[in-house]
């Protein structure tokens, strides 16, 4: 990536500071923070409340990662639950933290059918289009120059590759996607703009739909920069097939890819065998991204099991992050940082 320091040079510098011989991999107990082990952006989703209230959470985040994604603070339902009444407090706090600690920010997410204010769905088509344009423009302009990349549209396809039946698709048609990318680009021409979805790690009908849409948008001159591949996995299912090939085919049509929301859930309670499998899955996600030059980012959806979303959504599963509840690194962490 342009402007990033090569991994070996960073490791040599950090090793020297830590008193470790250059080019020698540090022992697990003295591992180099993740952000210094790669020339990709390494990030985590974060919550403003935990940043403010938990010093150990903040310390690990600051040490390990050079990119942050607001978990909920930039979603439409958070910033404008009541029409015309904005709450930027959480998003602003995360952006200030990132600026203070010299980290980049991934904006998440501008257009999503979920966590959407109730009042949006009731709008007639012509008004919905105006409101959607205003929403995208207002949010992107507020953080102009402060957001490296935006998840512009999120989760617009079903598993079989058909369009998800959302208020945006129902009332505005497929063209809303091109519109929001153009509006976002006009608001901040320097931000990278992504389409983002889950279960598109490998080659399947859903990732085919994303691939075909991106090709179409590119032909139309729509300013789409990349594809966000979320990476929500479970060890109860096999690792996605043709993962590297999938990343490579997006690179061939000229767009970046990023792993944007990686976690690997396991049936609870965890044991050594489950944690080893989890580590293998994280390692494959990480290594696959590094095998494709235009895969530019590896972000996890939270970094500690203390605050993972998984147990609430998948009963009986959990322990999905790189660090446990006490912020101790798990085998998965060392799969990325041997």
* Residue 169 DSSP SS3: helix
Separation of alpha carbons 183 and 325, rounded Å = 41
Paired with 227 in beta bridges are 195, 257
| C-beta separation of 106 from 297 below 8 A | yes
| C-beta separation of 169 from 116 below 8 A | no
CA dist 282 → 31, 34, 231, 235, 322 (Å): 17, 13, 9, 10, 9
Separation of alpha carbons 256 and 39, rounded Å = 14
Separation of alpha carbons 51 and 172, rounded Å = 38
* 45, containing H or E segment: strand 41-46
- What value does the CA radius of gyration of the chain take, rounded to a whole number of Å? 20
The residues annotated with a catalytic role in the active site are 155, 261
CA dist 71 → 27, 50, 78 (Å): 32, 11, 11
Separation of alpha carbons 217 and 237, rounded Å = 32
Q: What is the dihedral of CA 206, 207, 208, 210, to 10 degrees?
A: 90
For the chain, how many residues are written? 338
* Residue 123 DSSP SS3: coil
Q: What is the dihedral of CA 303, 260, 14, 331, to 10 degrees?
A: 50
Separation of alpha carbons 296 and 246, rounded Å = 15
* Residue 321 DSSP SS3: coil
| C-beta separation of 259 from 299 below 8 A | yes
């Amino acid at each position: 990536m342009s402007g990033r320091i090569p991994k070996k040079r960073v490791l040599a510098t950090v090793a020297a500071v830590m008193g470790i011989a250059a080019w020698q991999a540090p022992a697990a107990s003295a591992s180099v923070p993740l952000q210094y082990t790669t020339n990709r952006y390494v990030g985590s989703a974060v919550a403003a409340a935990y940043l403010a209230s938990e010093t150990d959470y903040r310390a690990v985040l600051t040490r390990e990662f050079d990119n942050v994604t607001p978990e909920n603070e930039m979603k439409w339902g958070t910033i404008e639950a009541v029409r015309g009444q904005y709450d930027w407090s959480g998003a602003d706090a995360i952006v200030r933290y990132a600026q203070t600690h010299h980290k980049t920010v991934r904006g998440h997410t501008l257009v999503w059918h979920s966590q959407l204010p109730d009042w949006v769905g009731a709008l007639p088509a012509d008004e919905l289009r105006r409101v959607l344009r205003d929403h995208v423009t207002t949010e992107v302009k507020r953080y102009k120059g402060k957001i490296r990349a935006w998840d512009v549209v999120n989760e617009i396809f079903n598993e079989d590759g058909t369009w998800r039946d959302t208020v945006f698709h129902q009332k505005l048609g497929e063209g809303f996607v091109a519109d929001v990318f153009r509006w976002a680009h006009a608001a901040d021409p320097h931000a990278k703009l992504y389409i983002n979805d889950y279960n598109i790690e490998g080659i399947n009908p859903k990732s085919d739909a994303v691939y075909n849409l991106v090709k179409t948008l590119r032909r139309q001159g729509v300013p789409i920069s990349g594809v966000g591949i979320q990476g929500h996995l479970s060890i109860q299912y096999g690792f996605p097939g043709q993962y590297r090939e999938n990343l490579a085919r997006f690179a061939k049509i000229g767009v970046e890819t990023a792993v944007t929301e990686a976690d690997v859930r396991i049936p609870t309670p965890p044991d050594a065998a489950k944690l080893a499998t989890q580590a293998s899955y994280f390692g494959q996600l990480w290594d696959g991204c590094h095998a494709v030059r235009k895969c530019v980012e590896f972000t996890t959806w939270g970094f500690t099991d203390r605050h993972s979303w998984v147990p609430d959504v998948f009963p009986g599963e959990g322990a999905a992050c790189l660090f446990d509840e006490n912020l101790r690194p798990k085998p998965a962490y060392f799969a990325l940082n041997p």
